[in-house]
């Protein structure tokens, strides 16, 4: 399932992020790539240990914790601390797949990467190229969102960032381990949740069918969730 979340960050928040990031110290992004992905990766990143990366990442996590659509779509159990990258002219990230299991920095915990997230911090007219392309069962999905918008997609997907030919593409990216690891099950739960949300305003709180649907949702979650 590919899910777009509009305006995760407000325009004021994006401007504040960019003011900091445009003055940040960037390093070669290939240093953090896996063995196979290293040769395909050509971009810049901020050191994960930098105070700026930690501070901005924590802001993103706090915001997502108060974003119902994110909670419904991801059913997050663990979230990898957000990272930040930049693609300037000529930079790209060839086709790759994310590592299935990742060590969470500065902890003894690991994370199964069920979902990947890209939070765009550049407006589409600031750069040419730099599209996120995701291989899905329905073909290649091309994603290039407004600053502050975010895409969620299965981390198991082959994906790439096309070469930037003008300007610079700045984004945050991270991974989520979901309570429901199976993408098909998670998609069914999300569709059911959104149907319930759409029906709720027009029905009484004690409507029998609404209560039954809500019960089905929670019983499926109870069956499929790994705690």
For the chain, give the mean pLDDT: 95
| The Cα angle at residue 8 between residues 33 and 85, in degrees rounded to 5 | 25
pLDDT in tens, 46-81: 999 999 999 999 999 999 999 999 999 999 999 999
Q: Give the CATH number of the domain where residue 212 resides.
A: 4.10.860.20
Percent of the chain past pLDDT 70, that is, above it, reads 96
Q: Residue 32 pLDDT > 70, yes or no? A: no
The sign of the dihedral angle between the CA atoms of 193, 135, 5, 61 is positive
pLDDT in tens, 133-181: 999 988 999 999 999 999 999 999 999 999 999 999 999 999 999 999 9
Are 69 and 132 part of one and the same domain? Answer: yes
d(C-alpha 195, C-alpha 189), whole Å: 10
d(C-alpha 20, C-alpha 26), whole Å: 12
Q: Residue 34 pLDDT > 80, yes or no? A: no
Q: Residue 190 pLDDT > 70, yes or no? A: yes
d(C-alpha 96, C-alpha 94), whole Å: 6
Is 169 labelled a binding residue? Answer: yes
What is the pLDDT averaged over residues 87-96?
A: 96
Range of the domain at 32: 3-178
Is 96 labelled a binding residue? Answer: yes
Q: Give the CATH number of the domain where residue 55 resides.
A: 2.60.120.620
pLDDT of residue 30: 75
């Amino acid at each position: 399932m590919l899910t777009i979340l509009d305006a995760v960050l407000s325009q004021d928040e994006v401007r504040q992020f960019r003011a900091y990031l445009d003055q940040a110290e960037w390093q070669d992004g290939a240093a953090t790539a896996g063995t196979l992905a290293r040769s395909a990766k050509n971009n810049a990143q901020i050191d994960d240990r930098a105070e700026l990366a930690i501070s901005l990442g924590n802001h993103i996590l706090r915001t997502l914790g108060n974003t119902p659509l994110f909670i419904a779509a991801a059913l997050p159990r663990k979230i990898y601390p957000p990272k930040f990258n930049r693609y300037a002219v000529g930079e790209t990230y060839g086709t790759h797949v994310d590592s299935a299991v990742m060590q969470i920095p500065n902890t003894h915990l690991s994370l199964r990467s069920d979902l990947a997230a890209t939070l765009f911090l550049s407006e589409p007219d600031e750069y040419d190229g730099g599209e996120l392309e995701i291989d899905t069962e329905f073909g290649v999905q091309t994603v290039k969102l407004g600053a502050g918008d975010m895409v969620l997609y299965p981390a198991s997907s082959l994906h790439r960032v096309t070469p930037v030919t003008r300007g610079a593409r700045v984004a945050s990216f991270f991974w989520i381990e979901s309570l429901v690891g199976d993408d098909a099950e998670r998609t069914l739960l999300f569709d059911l949740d959104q149907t319930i949300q759409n029906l709720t305003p027009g029905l009484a709180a004690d409507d029998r069918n609404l209560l039954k649907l809500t019960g089905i949702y929670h019983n499926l979650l109870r069956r499929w969730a790994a705690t």
